[in-house]
Each structure stands twice: as C-alpha cells, then as structure tokens.
Structure 1
Amino acid sequence: VFADPLASETIRKIKQWMDTCASDHPGCALRANPGDPMHAIVPKRLIRLDDQPHGCVRLVSLVESVQYLALSYCWGTSKQRGTTKDNLLARQQKIHLAELPNTLRDAITITNILGFQYLWIDSLCIVQDDEEEWAEQSSKMADIYVGAELVVAATQASDCAEGFLHAREEPLRIVPSDFEHHGLQAVVRRTTTHDLLGGYLLREQPLFGRAWVMQERELARRIIHFLPDELVWRCRNTMRCECGTSKDANQPLSLVLDLCKTAISKSDDVSDISFGQHWTILVKEYVKLKLTYPGDLLPALSGVAQYLHRHGAGNYIAGMWERGITYQLPWFRLPSAANDDTAQSTVLLSPTFSWVTASGPISWVEMISDIITVRCVCVGSTSTPSTANPYGPTQHATITIRGLLL
C-alpha cells in the first residue's frame, strides 16, 4: 500500500480491477439484471472534464450515452455552491475548480487520471433550487448509479470540504545494524486490521452513516472506496482490498441483490414471506442512517424501490410492498434517546400503516412460521405520489386486506 493514493501502482491496480470486472464478470455488465435500465443511460447533465487541465470543467447535456463515473460523498455542513437557476447558464460555459470543495475537486482529479471524460455529481448536475427537477432526478438515481462505469466513494470524508486523496501513513524503514554493511533493509508498516468479509472497516466510515448513500453503494455495479489507509473495491461479483484481501461472491454482496433474487421468483407464500422479511431487514438498517431533511426519507430510498419494481416486486406503497405486505405491517417503534440525531425530527405525512410515520428506529414482530400462521391476504392497494417521483413522498395510499375478524 503506497503512501500516495495517486501513485502509478495504485492507479494501475484500480484500472486492473475495472478491466477484470468488465471482461470476466457478466453479472456486472449494464443490463445484466432485470432491474437494470433497458437502455443506455443518459443523465440530464454531466460534468465534462476536457478543460480540467486548465482549471475548469463545465456542465453538458448529451443526447447519446457516454461512459461516466459518479461520486458518492457526504455533503456535510460546509457550504458548497451547487448549481442553481441563476448560475446554470454560466456553469454550462465554465466551472472554475477553485470554487468547488475539496471532495468534488478530488473526484474530478481521479476521474481524469482514470481516463474518463465525464463525471456525475448531484450538487452540480441537478439544479438545487428547482423542486420539480429535483423530484424528477431523484426518481432516476437508480439509473444514474447503475449506469456509472464506476462509483467513486469518498468514504473517509464526513464533509465535502475534507477531500479524500490524502497521503497515507509512510512505511517505517528499519535497517538492522548487524547487516548495515551488507545493504539489507526491512520495510514495515502498521498492519491494516479489518474484517473485509464482514465489512466492519467500511461501516465505521462517515459515508456509511448517511441515508442517501445507501442506495448509491447498493446499486453501483462497481464502487471504489477511498479509506484513510487504503482502497476497497466492490462489484457485484467480488470485493478486493488494496492490501491484498479479497472475497469472491458465492452470494450477492448487497441487501438489494438479495431482495432481487426473491423478487424475480414466482409469487407464492414462501417467496412472498422471504421478500417481505428481506425488505424489513433492509429498512431496519436504513432508518438508522442520518438524513439532513426528514422529508427525504422516501426519496433517498426511491432508487432501490425503482430497481426492485423492475425486478417484479410489484406495487410499492409508501415504503412498503404489496407483495409480502402481511409481514411488513407489524412494525413498531424502538426506544431512542431524545437527542438521537438518527431519529427524524418530524413525523412525515404518510399513511399510518407505514413505518415512514415512525420517528426514530423501528423493528418488526418476528413472524415465525411454526408459531404464527397468517390468515389474511392483500387484495389491493392504491398510492398517489405527491411529487414527480413515483417512489417518493405519498399524498394518499390505501391497502385492502381480507381476513378473519374477531
């Protein structure tokens, strides 16, 4: 592991991981899964890097698809000059790198070094003060992150001002005195102690605490995590660590891909139970994550919902699915500290049967088939979105259940 994250050997390793994935992992190819977009991705806007050596980039709108990277990062509390109605025209001409926060500049740097000309960053490519466009683009997050050739994750940075291309710890060089005249040297560094297979190193990083980021990493076909002391690569097929640790996936490496396996299976009692249980596992993890704006609770999950819908998951109703609904309905609030900033500060306007109305962490009644027998079925549902995002906030929703009444 080299001290410089941009060392030629490190960049060569990233390119090698990408080339191996592209040539040997058919499941990582675009449109390899039913949930993938059925056509090539053309984001509404992209950042073009052709002027980058001169200290400038610009926003472009393309008709035909191109290869691009996408950035996954924490905004943090630092002010960043996002794209607005007032500066959109100017940014289509030129964006000075000096006016961008460090994380965005680092993303542009790594994109350029890897040989790509286009990059997608939410704060630049979406007009931030246009509510209609924001709702429309948030509904396309699945397409954008699935479509990216690589997602660059600023995993170690808790704020956009921090950047992520920092020098790592220098190796410690020891020259044993007994062999000094023979020129023998020993090069050592502190061991990188982590459980890659369990992902604990990643889960401790700031980026993994943000709700918006969950769908970005879950949907990415390929993602590279920049950590304080090394890189971690993950695609749909494998995980690789810069220090040499690796894991090939006999099973999916994400909760969403686990859900996809049950979504595409024929609907019956067993598969519906499995789907409902997998969804509650994902939601339990999701609600622990932080949101700056409580109203983003469903939009930040909408990419996952759209992806699962394409896999055949069925009707989506305010954060729940008609399929396996009887296993999603018995949710309950968990106790949480009043100052717990993972809790939502506002109860959202949603149907009361949905977990979305909970203010804080939640769990579900465990439905053990040997003990509990479900004798009700869902016979219909309706859902009216309140924005242009069909998987976002809900204006009105109903579920019709048929069963025995005591």
Structure 2
Amino acid sequence: MMETACATCTGLQKHLKKPLQDHGPEPPGSVRWVNTTLAHLRASSGTCRGCALLLQGILLHYGRFANIKEDQIRVTAETFHSATNASQDHLSVELRWKPHEDDCDDMSDHDHEEGYPDLKLEFFTDQDGQSSFSAIGRGRHIITDALQDTGIQTIHSMIRQCKANHSLCRDSKPDFMPHRLLDLSVGDPSIGIVLREFAADANMRQAAHEYLALSYRWGIGRGMPQTTSKLLKAYKTNIAWDTLPKAFQEAVLLTKSLGFRFLWIDSLCVVQDDPSDAIRTSLELNDIYGNSSLTIASTSAAEPAKGLFTPKIQTFKVQANDSNGSISKVYIREQPSHYSFKKPSDVGSPINNWELLSDASKEANARTPLLTRAWAYSERLLSPRVLHFTDSEMLLECREAFQCECGRIDDASFDPRKTDTVKQDFARCAALSDTNGHRRMDSVVFQLAATSLSDGTDDLPAAPANPLELWSYIVTEYTARNVTYDTDRLMAIAGVAKTLSRAINAGYIAGHWTSSTLGLLWYPNEGGQCRRPKQVAGRNVPSWSWASVEGSPISFDNLSAMDLACSASFSINVSQKTFSPFSGDVIELRAAMATEVAFHEDALNEYSLSRNGISVEFQPDIIPLRGEDIIKSGETLVCALVSMSFRSSILGLVLKKSRTKTPTYRRIGRFECYECLKDGSDEEPEDAEALFEHWFPDVDDMTQLDERPRHVFKIL
C-alpha cells in the first residue's frame, strides 16, 4: 500500500521526501521540510503525526509569541548537510513574526526569509538514539552543571584542543605575575580563602605563575566584598566564604576543579581605596589577563549575586509515535544562536570593514550583559582564552578560534553569519615585531590631488589592515560599551594600548597615537547624547582626545584620498616612545589650509559654518551646546582642513579660541563637507571640492600644498 506524504511536512520521513511546490526553493546544503504558517501547521497537526510533533515543540515556547496571531507567524523546518559536523543532523525549526524591511502584507516567502529568525528551535535525538521521524537526527546535549565531571572534562577538552592547534594560544613561562592573587589551597572552602601578596612572599612566586582570572559585571556592587586599606591585613589571613557572592564562590570551586590554586578577582586583588594601586593595576592589565591560563567570564549574569553558572535555557523531552506505534525520545530546545559573538549580517567583509558587534539587538545584550561593559571588553581582548558562561552553553573564545558545546558556532552550514574576529586580529597585531609589523597609518594616504573625488572610487581596493586601523575599530566598540566612572574611560583601555604599542611603534597619549594625524578626525556617532566627562586633578583629558566626549560610540576617518598638508605634533617635550595613557597636554596643529568661519545656529540643534557667502553643515561634538562648548550665533571659529576622503568629502577640525593670554584653542568638532550652499540662494548645492575656491581663493595649485606656509594652532 502506498504511503501518502503530508502536504505540509512530508511526514518528516526522508524516504517520502519529494519536491513540493508550496515548500519553495530549498537553501543550498539543506533539505526543507516545512514552509508554512503556524495556523496552517495547527490545522495539519490533526491528521499528521509529524506536524503534531512540530506544533507540540513550538507551543512549549508559547510565551515567546503569545500575543502574535498564528497566521502571522511563519514556520520553516530544515535539516542541514555539514561537511565538518557529522555528529549532528538535527531538525532546525525557525519562526519569524516581526516585520522586516520591505515586508509585504501578503507575507511572501521571500520577505520572511530575510533577517535572523525571531525564534530558532532544534529537534534532536541522543547520539545513539533512533527517531520515529528520519528527518530528526542526532544532536548534542548541553551540560547543565559545569562543576560535574562531564563539565570539567568538556572544559579541559576545549583547552587541550586550543593549546594543541593554536600557536598564538600556547602557554609561555612569563616572568610576570600579579602583585596579589587569591590562594584557594584551603582544604575546606567553608573556611574561606586567602589573599597573597607575592612581593613579600618570594617562596610562592614560582607556584603562582599559573592562575585563572575572573571577568564579571559589578552591577550595583551592594554587599560585594572589596579589599580596602583597612581590610588588607585581615584578608591576608582569611576572606570568609559566606561574604563572597555566588559568582565568586562558583569561580573558586571551578578554579579548584580545573586543578589551579590561584585566582585573580579585581575587587579583592586591588586595594579599592588606593588610587595608586588602581593605576598600577590598569597599566598591568595586559599582563594580568594576558598571562592568565584562563579567564572565566560570567557572561550572562548582571551582577555577582546572580552567580557564574546562570540557569540554562530549558531542554524539553517528548515522546514521538510513528504509524506502527513505536515510541522514541525527541529533545526540543531553543538553539544556541551565538548572536552576541556573531556579526549582525551574513555578508562577508574585508578586515578593514569590521561590522560592529555593538549593533547587537537589545535581546542579545540582555542575555549577555557582561559584553556591554567596557572593562570586560578589554579583559576579553587581552586574555589568551575566555570561557564564557551563558544562559545557553559554554563557549571558549581564544586568540585563534571559538569553540562551543553545541559545536556549531563556526559552522556556516547552520548559520552563515561570521563570528567576530577582532580578538584574533588583535592577537596577530600584538605578535608583530617593531620591524616587521609596524606600518604607519600615514603610509596609506594616497596623493590624488589632480584627481576628482568622484573618479573611480568604486574600484579602489580595500586598504590592508594595520594596527592603527584595528585600534580605531576597538575604540569604536569600546566606547559603545558602558563604564560607570568617567575616570575609568582611559584606564580600562590602557592595557589594550600597551599591547598594541610594539606593533604601532609610536607614542601614546590620552588615547591617541602620536604617529597619526588622521586619528584626530574622530567623531561621536550620536552627538545628541554626548557630554564632557568630569575632570580629575592630575588627569587632563584634552579636547583633541576622543575620551573628552562621553555618551556615544566614537568613529574615525582613517583612510584619506588626499593629504591636505596638515600635521600634528606634541608641543610638550615627549619622545617617540612616550606612554601617557591617562592624561594629555597641548598639541600643535600645523595646517596649510585653515581659515576663520562664522558659526550659525540655523534651527534647534542644527548648525552651519559660513565664509564668503558659502555655508556648509556642521555637527559639534556636544549637542545641544552647553558648558565650555557654548557658541553664540555669528561667533568666529577656525576650520583647519586635514584631508579629503573616499566619500567625496573634505575633512577637518573646528576650533574655538580660548580666553587665555597665549593663543590656544579647544576642539569643538570634526568638520565634514559634502556640498556647499550659497547663502540665501535656492540654487543647487555645489560639490565639496568647490569649497576650496570659495573659502581658500588664494590656493591656486592643490599639488603645491606642501610648499605653502602653515597656520599653527595650539589645541588644549
């Protein structure tokens, strides 16, 4: 007797699979079984066991879409063919209900294929199990308790694989060790742990070269133990177990279970009321995390009280019956999406066009709150290996790759989006020597003075990645993350800068590398959310530094189509190797093309600059203008041009003269001109290049800019 295939799911039986017109085209490397609405699946479930199983698994997650009409929820189900992951052939079920760009009212298949699904489930059996439905194959179970033997074995296996296969991750024998570490050698954890200072305990220095570090989110910090000057002596004797928050306790137990004796936790290993100890630690952060055997990351916990091992997303077990009455077990869970470690799209991009992870969804940030913190971002980059504990699984992120419990994070068969590579790029740059790795940013400035900005820009090759460009990307990601105290902004990234200093081979002052004038062309992405940070005695954050603006991710203009003969130098007596990460002084800007312009407020929070009857739009660093940034309409500012970009625009700095005896200036914003407007005219705007003849009529030969006298500005 012939079997009749269900028109909705083909019975989830491979031997019955045949192309069904309403399923639509199948993605490459996969077999599609279902492409319908949840309402239609419900109707079909009355006569088909396969559809009934799918509906049952979906409704176990009903809370995710309870307020959505079922005919607005699109359901697809696929199995994948992976050349690298033969141990998994689960059924992937995706639900989409949120509108995407260009969606049509008829909910066409194409519209709902776009974007990452709103809910992604997997149906699977045990590794040696048999399913009543041949479309549902094997999957990997995720460990619910990392401290059990299977959890410890999994962690050891990940670390062994990393050390065996990755040259950048192999352990070295550094001379460095942290000033303080927590000694976990007390036999009974209920007695507590001990804080060791190794400068005063030389006999233990050799034993403490292998240690773990903890990366966690402080949260409100209420009730969290902190080493202070008064408690330091007592903590050297004992830190009571019951004073430790859950995350610290679990980190201690995990460290001991992995066979390590020492652990570094900042709140206990740094004297919190000693500013000098905090500064020393921030300057050693690259060594503290860089030499740890493993950094444990409480990635899904909002605060230490929530613990290190946050509850996992539930896995459901159901019984499935086939037409012969045979029963089998099928597991259903929300599929680990790795969204906090993936690029927002699946479009590959060259190394100099990194996609920002900070553009992750609100849901992703809520599920991995540690990744929204600036300190944690630096700790993650500096560590050879970071073991992330999330609400879905454990992930090991090292200097060359990712590993995860489900085994799919880098398998394009299951998810075409690329994993974030910035840690890997950072590790490669850090390994470069001064002679082989140094490639100044200025070397990629092309002299195209005789070429129109609109000529051939689409065919220009992507500039090769270099440490300065990587630094700019890191600052953008870093400034998109939160930091509690203004004073920490430059402190938390000092270790990253110190690590890159060999590759960049330049001085570093207040977040800026002295070899790059283009680095001064930073700008806040969201000026309307910005403010100036509080100044602290002894730490001057100059206006030319990106750290002088809080509240927005900072972006950079690193590539120039033409250098407009502008350079910057430090007027204070500094050497090429100066490393002043927390403070800066006056810089001297020397520009061949600089002119006075009139500032105008055209409407609420809308501004322009004008000269000789020609105006251009302008966005100050701080909007609305306030404090030292207040500018009256009609006030005179200075515009110093720096470069021309591949975006067919002209770039420069806008400066305001300070009220001081000696002529000094403060940066007000970055200037970018795309087009020029004639004041009071309805004529079409002119291209950016017209600005030269209107604002700089005395410059008759752009190829001779290097021969022109320089305007000199001292910028505070």
TM over 0.5: yes
Q: TM-score range by the shorter chain?
A: 0.7 to 0.9
Distance 2:556 2:231 in 1: 50
Alignment of 1:141-180 (within 5 A): 141-177=285-321
Alignment of 1:311-390 (within 5 A): 311-324=503-516, 326-336=517-527, 346=534, 349-361=540-552, 363-364=554-555, 366=557, 368-370=559-561, 372-378=562-568, 380=570, 382=572
Change in Cα spacing, 1:7 to 1:219, as seen in structure 2 (3 Å) is same
The answer to whether the Cα contact below 8 Å between 1:4 and 1:167 also exists between their aligned partners in 2 is no
Partner of 1:76: 219
Q: CA deviation at 1:82?
A: 0.2
User: Which one of the candidate residues 431, 438, 458 is aligned to 1:265?
Assistant: 438
User: Which one of the candidate residues 141, 146, 153 is aligned to 1:5?
Assistant: 146
The answer to whether the Cα contact below 8 Å between 1:331 and 1:365 also exists between their aligned partners in 2 is yes
| TM-score between both structures, scaled by the size of structure 2 | 0.50
Q: Do residues 283 (structure 1) and 427 (structure 2) align? A: no
How big is the alpha-carbon RMSD for the aligned residues of Structure 1 and Structure 2?
A: 3.2
The answer to whether the Cα contact below 8 Å between 1:334 and 1:360 also exists between their aligned partners in 2 is no
Q: Do residues 126 (structure 1) and 289 (structure 2) align? A: no
Distance 1:357 1:177 in 2: 65
The answer to whether the Cα contact below 8 Å between 1:355 and 1:362 also exists between their aligned partners in 2 is no
| TM-score between both structures, scaled by the size of structure 1 | 0.85
1:100-134 deviations in whole A, cap 9, x for unaligned?
11111121121111111110000001111112112
Partner of 2:249: 105
Q: CA deviation at 1:81?
A: 1.9
Consecutive unaligned residues in structure 1, runs of 5 or more: 32-37
Secondary structure of the residue that 1:247 maps to in structure 2? coil
Secondary structure of the residue that 2:306 maps to in structure 1? coil
User: Which one of the candidate residues 47, 55, 60 is aligned to 2:196?
Assistant: 60
Change in Cα spacing, 1:271 to 1:365, as seen in structure 2 (3 Å) is closer
Distance 2:323 2:317 in 1: 14
Secondary structure of the residue that 1:223 maps to in structure 2? strand
Identity value in percent: 27
Distance 2:527 2:499 in 1: 31
1:309-360 deviations in whole A, cap 9, x for unaligned?
2435310011100122x1111223444555x8xx665367322211121232
The answer to whether the Cα contact below 8 Å between 2:570 and 2:588 also exists between their aligned partners in 1 is yes
Opposite residue 58 of structure 1, the aligned amino acid is V
Which one has more relative contact order, counting CA pairs under 8 Å at least 6 apart?
A: 1
The answer to whether the Cα contact below 8 Å between 2:310 and 2:389 also exists between their aligned partners in 1 is no
Secondary structure of the residue that 2:563 maps to in structure 1? coil
The answer to whether the Cα contact below 8 Å between 1:126 and 1:133 also exists between their aligned partners in 2 is yes
Distance 2:293 2:499 in 1: 17
Change in Cα spacing, 1:4 to 1:181, as seen in structure 2 (3 Å) is farther
Distance 1:313 1:265 in 2: 6
Alignment of 1:235-314 (within 5 A): 235-247=398-410, 253-254=423-424, 256-257=426-427, 260=430, 264-267=437-440, 269-270=442-443, 274-314=466-506
Change in Cα spacing, 1:69 to 1:181, as seen in structure 2 (3 Å) is same
Change in Cα spacing, 1:266 to 1:290, as seen in structure 2 (3 Å) is closer
1:160-203 deviations in whole A, cap 9, x for unaligned?
21112134244211123459986632233232234454375976
1:208-263 deviations in whole A, cap 9, x for unaligned?
11111111001110001000111111111110111112439996634633654697
The answer to whether the Cα contact below 8 Å between 2:294 and 2:386 also exists between their aligned partners in 1 is yes
Opposite residue 393 of structure 1, the aligned amino acid is F
Partner of 2:388: 225
Moved more, 226-235 or 174-183: 174-183
The answer to whether the Cα contact below 8 Å between 1:333 and 1:363 also exists between their aligned partners in 2 is yes
1:253-289 deviations in whole A, cap 9, x for unaligned?
3463365469723447336994443322221221121
Opposite residue 231 of structure 1, the aligned amino acid is M
The answer to whether the Cα contact below 8 Å between 1:46 and 1:120 also exists between their aligned partners in 2 is yes
Moved more, 275-284 or 74-83: 275-284
Secondary structure of the residue that 1:89 maps to in structure 2? helix
Secondary structure of the residue that 1:257 maps to in structure 2? helix
Opposite residue 59 of structure 1, the aligned amino acid is L
Moved more, 128-137 or 239-248: 239-248
Secondary structure of the residue that 1:161 maps to in structure 2? helix
Partner of 1:187: 331
The answer to whether the Cα contact below 8 Å between 1:383 and 1:397 also exists between their aligned partners in 2 is no
Opposite residue 142 of structure 1, the aligned amino acid is N
Distance 1:364 1:312 in 2: 19
Q: CA deviation at 1:3?
A: 2.6
Partner of 2:679: none
Consecutive unaligned residues in structure 2, runs of 5 or more: 1-141, 344-356, 412-418, 446-462, 593-709, 712-716
Change in Cα spacing, 1:149 to 1:375, as seen in structure 2 (3 Å) is same
Distance 1:228 1:215 in 2: 22
Partner of 2:183: 48
Distance 2:423 2:251 in 1: 25
Change in Cα spacing, 1:163 to 1:303, as seen in structure 2 (3 Å) is same
Secondary structure of the residue that 1:253 maps to in structure 2? helix
The answer to whether the Cα contact below 8 Å between 1:45 and 1:125 also exists between their aligned partners in 2 is yes
Q: Do residues 209 (structure 1) and 368 (structure 2) align? A: no
Distance 1:362 1:228 in 2: 27
User: Which one of the candidate residues 581, 585, 589 is aligned to 1:397?
Assistant: 585
The answer to whether the Cα contact below 8 Å between 1:276 and 1:323 also exists between their aligned partners in 2 is no
Opposite residue 269 of structure 1, the aligned amino acid is D
Partner of 1:35: none
Change in Cα spacing, 1:5 to 1:28, as seen in structure 2 (3 Å) is same
Distance 1:337 1:369 in 2: 27
